[in-house]
Structure formats: structure tokens, C-alpha cells
């Protein structure tokens, strides 16, 4: 049945074919087909490969892995890989392992292992098994012995410079040295001696015997093992020889029966070696597939550069909200849902790319709009006195989230002295200025309509107060005034306002692609990427803010509580601003 549908479907779906040859063209397609059509979402090239493999019966179920090296914090690029690997196995009923590629003891630390696990979990994924390449050291050693026995590997005493020189150039083949002819027995003994610590770092290496004339430089007898008398974060001092990436990754995949080993494009040349080793070792045939890594505008993504930003204190740490790290984005208030949606909807391919960070921000807004509690916060206040408001202070109700009917309401105190945003008033407004101006009316969100009667200034001409009158019949929810105003402002009762600190972030760099610019990428750091508002005024309900809550400060943007907050002082991070399509007209001169 499924086969038949698959066979017919492409024909029916062809609009050309449908119109000219299909007598049912004006009718809806077969119910099954319309159903499918609704679900219709084109497959990315990896999904196509998986579906083809599954259809061919190559595997009954798929297995993927996420293989970070624990030498830094995870960033947006890793998120792509995580979503791909876990997404693929989830979609096709397989599983994904988390594997730490820890074959280089000098760069790796447990601190990173922990943060990586935390980040993957936070993104919402569960791995099947947690593995470490270092767990396979014994097994890998045995594999190397097997290769030696097959006379496909040998111990080389040359220095790294000599080996490099013998490798030839892209246009000229390399040549073997005398060590390549060492008999199997001798190689076995030497390799065992290497393992037993009889040699110093760099004295000897184990190389595969492949092809010194290969057009692929990587196949010219690549180094498999090197000597490093270094402490490993997991195996301690058990080993003094460590396998290189090429001798660890494919075999680790194989040991875990990974069916689809997904990596980035720079590993394409490694695929030939990957396959060669699996073939010669006669082990489970994992297959490597490559995709183009994701780049984002106005940031850098390489671990080396991110590390520099941290160590040279251009940012506050790996989790600085301006960093493209997972921990940075988390601290900034991005949600895992938004990041996952971004990764999924952006797609994947094999060409170079640089994704507009605005696209990421769109997905963040889209998610936050549904979740964030609305609150009023005034960053730069100007006092408004409502001269005809002689009542007692009152409590007004306002919805927590207009997008969420079940979101409930909270109460906001109103009195005759309020704050509004300084930028929401203009003495000589341009055309189409909907905010407050002399003689002009605005609605105070969830409260009343007010009209500006008088501007009070100090001796220097600075505006210190605005005197307004309110329209009693215009109370929110029971407005009988019949007045329609274009502008609605956020506001706070002066005596009820609480103070909070607000940190606003802008792009970390001034240019779209700092890495491609002349000179040092750090020359392009945006000096204004952090703006701190030490004292902003907030409505009282914000006193109960919790770390996991997301807020929208009305007309300001999305915010979340920062870890620097304490009982004495709350600190909010701006996650992302609201879209702002208001373009001020050229202002009239004052």
C-alpha cells in the first residue's frame, strides 16, 4: 500500500501533469494525498539519505552521535549539530549517543564535559549512552596492533618536520622512508614500547601504510598515534600514547554502531581515510556525511576566537549574554524551543552561508510572544502630574498576556503622579506622532486617557514635569468617553514603582562577518554592545519575578532575570527588542 502511494504520489503531485493529463485535476486529490500534502515538508539531504537507507533495508534503525571535544563551551554551531543528530534519530525512531572526543589530553577538561551535558539537556535532548573516546583506548590499541599485523601500519622514528617534507606537495607525490620497511615483528615490539613509555614525546609515531602518491594528502601514510606524556582528564596517567582524530573517530562510531556519522564540511577529505580504516579493520561500517557549518552575522563562532573574547575580557565570560554560546543565549533569555525551531526551519545544506542573526531573533520573538508575561517598566522617566485626579489611589487590572487567554491578570496601582518614558513626549512633535505632546491625548495602558495641558521646565529649559488632565469616563474596560486615541503608553505610579537594573545588549561586532575583515577580528568589536540602565522603574508585581519567567516589558522588548540578581537588587537582561516599524518623520525644529 505504502509503495503504491509512493509510486503514484509524484505523478499526482506534478502540477503540469495534473493539469494536462489528469481528468481529476479539478477535484481534490485522494484523501490520503491531501493529508500528505498538508504535512508536506521537503526533506533535507540527510533525511533523504536516511530514508533511502531505510527503504533499502540497509539498517533496521538508525544511530547517530553528537561528538564534541570537551575543550570549550558549546555554541550555536553545536546547536545545529545537536538538532541535526538528535532530530534525525527522533524522526526515524533511532537513537543518539553523546560522545566526548577526548583524544587530546592537553586541551580537554572535565569542566567542559559538565557544561556540555548541561547544554544538551537544556536544549531538550536525551542521549541514549554517554561515551568517551578515551573509554576505547584499549580497543583502539588492539586495532592498531591488528593493522600492524596486516602490515598496514608502521612505527616511524622521523621528526614531524621530516614526515612533512617526505609527504610531498599537492602536485608531487611523497616518498616513504626506510622505517616503512620495518618488519611486522619489529613494529609490534616498537609500538608496545611506545605504549610502555620507553620513548619521549615526538620520538616515534605510528603511521598507516596507505599511499604516498594519493592526491588526497591525508592518505599519504597518516599518523595514527603520537606519544604524549600528559595527564588525561579521565584516564589519568594510564596512557602515554594517544590516537589521533582519524584513528579514533571512525572506530568509535563503529564500536557504537553509528549508522550515520554527521560532521561538518572540513572533514570531507577525512572520509576516504575513515572508510579505509573501517575496511582494513573489518569493523562495523559506519558512514560519514558532511554538512556546511552555520555562521551567524555580527558574531564569531570559532572556539579559538570565543576563547580570546573571554580570556581578554571583552566579554563577561563564556555565558556573557552577548556570546553565541548556548550558555550565553540561555542567560540572555533565548528559549530552547526558539533555538530548536531556528535550527529546524533554517534547513541544512552543503554550501557556505552566513545566516542573518535577525532570523534567530525572529524565532526568539515568536516563541516569547506566546510565553512572556507583560509588565510595565520605564527606563528614562519624566513625571506626569494628573491635576484633576483627586480620588484615592486605585488598583487597575491588566492582562498578563493578550496572546494567552488563560494567562490571567495582575493589578497595577494608579495615582495622580506617574512616570512615562521621556521619549514618549515631544514638545514640538512631527506629523504622525501618536505619543504625548502639548494639547494631545494618549491612552495610558490599562488606565485612562490623558491630555497634556502644560510643560514645566527648570531654569535651563529641561522638562521636569508634565501637567495633564485625565478623562474619568475613559477607564480601561469601561470606556464611555467615545474618544479614540492613536497612542498608548506604558506608565508607572511614582510612589508605587520599584527600581531594577536593566542590561541591554546589542551586536557584539560592528560588521556582519568579523572573520572575513582585514586585520584582527577584535578590531571590529562593537564598543556599545552593552548598555546598563542602573535605575529603571518597574511595576510592583515584578518584585515577584522568578528566574525561569519570561517577560515582555511593554513597548520595550523581552526580558529575563539575570543570575546577578539578588534580593537587594534585581537585574534584567534584554533578550531581544520588539520589532519597531515606527519611523520618526523629520522633526520640526524647536
Region 323-382 residues binding RNA, contact defined as CB under 7 A: 345-356, 358-359, 362, 365-366, 369, 374
What DSSP character marks residue 339? H
Among residue numbers 184 through 213, which ones bind RNA (CB under 7 A)?
201-202, 205
Rounded Cα gap, residues 250 and 405, in angstroms = 52
The window from 10-18, 280-288, 313-321, 492-500 that contacts RNA (CB under 7 A) reads 10-18
Stretch 284-323: interaction string toward RNA, x if CB under 7 A: --------x-------------------------------
Q: Is 437 an interacting residue with respect to RNA (CB under 7 A)?
A: no
Q: Is 226 an interacting residue with respect to RNA (CB under 7 A)?
A: yes
Q: Which of 36, 47, 69, 501 is catalytic?
A: 69
Q: How far is the CB of 79 from RNA (least distance, A)?
A: 14
The sign of the torsion formed by the CA atoms of 262, 265, 268, 270 equals negative
Q: Is 403 an interacting residue with respect to RNA (CB under 7 A)?
A: yes
* Member of 79, 88, 143, 554 binding RNA (CB under 7 A): 554
Please say which residue, 125 or 179, places its beta carbon nearer to RNA. 179
* Member of 32, 55, 164, 192 binding RNA (CB under 7 A): 164
Please say which residue, 169 or 566, places its beta carbon nearer to RNA. 169
Among residue numbers 72 through 111, which ones bind RNA (CB under 7 A)?
101, 103-104, 107
* 432 in active site: no
Number of residues interacting with RNA: please give it, by CB under 7 A: 99
Q: How far is the CB of 402 from RNA (least distance, A)?
A: 5
Stretch 457-496: interaction string toward RNA, x if CB under 7 A: -----------------xxxx-x----x-xxx-x------
Contact indicator for 248, 83 with CB cutoff of 8 Å: no
The window from 110-118, 145-153, 160-168, 321-329 that contacts RNA (CB under 7 A) reads 160-168
Main-chain dihedrals φ then ψ at residue 28, nearest 5 degrees = -65, 155
The sign of the torsion formed by the CA atoms of 61, 336, 323, 368 equals positive
Is 264 strand, coil or helix?
strand
Q: Which of 293, 371, 503, 556 is catalytic?
A: 293
Rounded Cα gap, residues 332 and 8, in angstroms = 49
Among residue numbers 505 through 534, which ones bind RNA (CB under 7 A)?
516
Q: How far is the CB of 403 from RNA (least distance, A)?
A: 6
* Angle between helices 45-55 and 76-91 in degrees, nearest 10: 30
Is 74 strand, coil or helix?
coil
Rounded Cα gap, residues 159 and 199, in angstroms = 13
Please say which residue, 320 or 491, places its beta carbon nearer to RNA. 491
Reduce the secondary structure of 12-65 to three states and give it as a string: HHCHHHHHHHCCCCCCCCCHHHHHHHHHCCCCCHHHHHHHHHHHCCCCCCCEEE
* Member of 32, 192, 213, 217 binding RNA (CB under 7 A): 217
Contacts of 455 (CB under 8 A, 6+ apart): 427, 438, 463, 465, 466, 467
Please say which residue, 101 or 320, places its beta carbon nearer to RNA. 101
The window from 262-270, 464-472, 519-527, 539-547 that contacts RNA (CB under 7 A) reads 262-270
Q: How far is the CB of 531 from RNA (least distance, A)?
A: 20
107: left (phi over 0), alpha (psi -120 to 50) or beta: alpha
* 200 in active site: no
String of DSSP letters for 463-511: EEEEEEEEEGGG-TTS--S----S-EE-EEEGGG-EEEEEEEE--SBSS
Q: How far is the CB of 217 from RNA (least distance, A)?
A: 4
Rounded Cα gap, residues 454 and 385, in angstroms = 10
Contacts of 143 (CB under 8 A, 6+ apart): 247, 251, 281, 283
Alpha helix segments (H runs only) across 229-325: 245-255, 271-281, 303-311
Among residue numbers 111 through 150, which ones bind RNA (CB under 7 A)?
none
Please say which residue, 534 or 579, places its beta carbon nearer to RNA. 579
- Cβ atoms within 10 A of the Cβ of 327, count? 20
Q: How far is the CB of 338 from RNA (least distance, A)?
A: 12
* Member of 580, 586, 589, 590 binding RNA (CB under 7 A): 580
**H or E segment at 411?**
strand 409-414
Among residue numbers 16 through 75, which ones bind RNA (CB under 7 A)?
16-17, 19, 42-45, 48, 69
* 293 in active site: yes
Reduce the secondary structure of 424-476 to three states and give it as a string: HECCCCCCCCCCECCCCEEEECCCCEEEEEEEEECCCCCEEEEEEEEEHHHCC
Q: Is 387 an interacting residue with respect to RNA (CB under 7 A)?
A: no
Give catalytic residues, as residue numbers.
69, 293, 303
Amino acid at each position: 500500500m505504502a509503495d503504491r502511494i509512493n509510486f503514484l504520489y509524484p505523478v499526482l503531485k506534478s502540477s503540469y501533469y495534473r493539469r494536462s493529463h489528469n481528468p481529476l485535476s479539478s477535484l481534490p486529490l485522494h484523501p490520503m494525498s491531501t493529508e500528505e500534502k498538508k504535512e508536506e515538508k521537503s526533506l533535507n539531504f540527510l533525511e533523504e539519505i536516511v530514508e533511502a537507507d531505510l527503504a533499502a533495508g540497509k539498517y533496521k534503525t538508525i544511530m547517530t552521535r553528537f561528538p564534541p571535544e570537551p575543550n570549550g563551551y558549546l555554541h550555536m554551531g553545536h546547536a545545529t549539530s545537536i538538532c541535526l543528530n538528535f532530530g534525525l534519530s527522533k524522526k526515524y525512531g533511532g537513537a543518539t549517543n553523546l560522545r566526548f572526543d577526548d583524544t587530546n589530553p592537553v586541551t580537554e577538561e572535565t569542566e567542559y564535559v559538565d557544561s556540555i551535558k548541561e547544554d544538551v539537556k537544556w536544549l531538550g535532548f536525551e542521549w541514549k549512552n554517554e561515551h568517551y573516546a578515551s573509554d576505547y583506548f584499549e580497543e583502539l590499541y588492539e586495532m592498531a596492533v591488528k593493522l600492524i599485523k596486516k602490515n598496514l601500519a608502521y612505527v616511524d622514528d622521523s621528526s614531524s618536520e621530516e614526515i612533512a617534507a617526505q609527504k610531498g606537495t599537492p602536485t608531487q607525490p611523497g616518498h616513504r622512508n626506510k622505517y616503512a620497511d620495518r618488519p611486522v615483528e619489529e613494529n609490534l615490539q616498537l609500538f608496545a614500547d611506545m605504549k610502555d613509555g620507553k620513548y619521549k614525546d615526538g620520538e616515534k609515531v605510528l603511521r598507516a601504510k596507505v599511499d604516498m602518491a594519493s592526491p588526497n594528502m591525508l592518505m599519504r601514510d597518516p599518523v595514527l598515534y603520537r606519544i604524549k606524556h600528559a595527564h588525561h582528564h579521565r584516564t589519568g596517567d594510564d596512557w602515554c600514547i594517544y590516537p589521533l582524530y582519524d584513528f579514533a573517530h571512525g572506530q568509535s562510531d563503529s564500536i557504537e554502531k553509528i549508522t550515520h556519522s554527521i560532521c561538518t564540511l572540513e572533514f570531507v577529505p577525512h572520509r576516504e581515510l575513515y572508510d579505509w580504516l573501517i575496511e582494513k579493520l573489518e569493523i562495523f561500517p559506519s558512514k560519514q556525511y558532511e554538512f556546511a557549518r552555520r555562521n551567524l552575522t555580527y558574531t564569531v563562532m570559532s572556539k579559538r576566537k570565543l576563547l580570546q573574547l573571554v580570556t581578554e575580557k571583552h566579554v563577561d565570560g563564556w555565558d556573557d549574554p552577548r556570546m553565541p554560546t548556548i550558555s550565553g543565549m540561555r542567560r540572555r533569555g533565548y528559549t530552547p524551543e526558539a533555538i530548536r525551531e531556528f535550527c529546524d526551519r533554517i534547513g541544512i545544506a552543503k554550501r557556505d552561508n552566513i545566516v542573518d542573526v535577525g532570523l534567530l531573533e525572529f524565532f526568539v520573538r515568536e516563541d516569547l510572544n506566546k510565553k512572556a508575561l507583560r509588565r510595565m517598566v520605564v527606563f528614562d522617566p519624566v513625571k506626569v502630574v494628573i491635576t484633576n485626579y483627586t480620588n484615592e489611589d486605585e488598583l487597575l487590572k491588566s492582562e498578563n498576556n493578550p496572546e494567552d487567554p488563560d494567562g490571567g491578570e495582575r493589578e497595577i496601582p494608579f495615582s495622580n503622579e506617574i512616570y512615562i518614558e521621556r521619549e514618549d513626549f515631544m514638545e514640538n512633535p512631527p506629523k504622525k506622532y501618536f505619543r504625548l505632546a502639548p494639547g494631545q491625548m494618549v491612552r495610558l495602558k490599562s488606565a485612562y486617557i490623558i491630555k497634556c495641558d502644560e510643560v514645566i521646565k527648570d531654569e535651563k529649559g529641561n522638562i521636569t514635569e508634565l501637567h495633564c488632565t485625565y478623562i474619568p469616563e475613559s477607564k480601561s474596560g469601561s470606556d464611555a468617553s467615545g474618544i479614540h486615541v492613536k497612542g498608548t503608553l506604558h506608565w508607572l505610579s511614582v510612589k508605587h514603582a520599584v527600581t531594577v537594573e536593566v542590561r541591554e545588549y546589542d551586536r557584539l561586532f560592528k560588521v556582519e562577518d568579523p572573520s572575513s575583515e582585514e586585520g584582527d577580528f577584535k578590531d571590529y568589536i562593537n564598543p556599545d554592545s552593552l548598555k546598563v540602565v542602573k535605575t529603571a522603574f518597574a511595576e510592583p508585581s515584578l518584585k515577584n519575578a522568578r528566574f525561569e519567567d519570561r517577560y515582555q516589558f511593554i513597548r520595550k522588548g523581552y526580558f529575563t532575570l539575570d543570575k546577578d540578581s539578588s534580593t537587594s537588587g534585581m537585574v534584567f537582561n534584554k533578550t531581544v527588542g520588539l520589532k519597531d516599524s515606527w519611523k520618526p518623520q523629520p522633526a520640526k525644529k524647536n
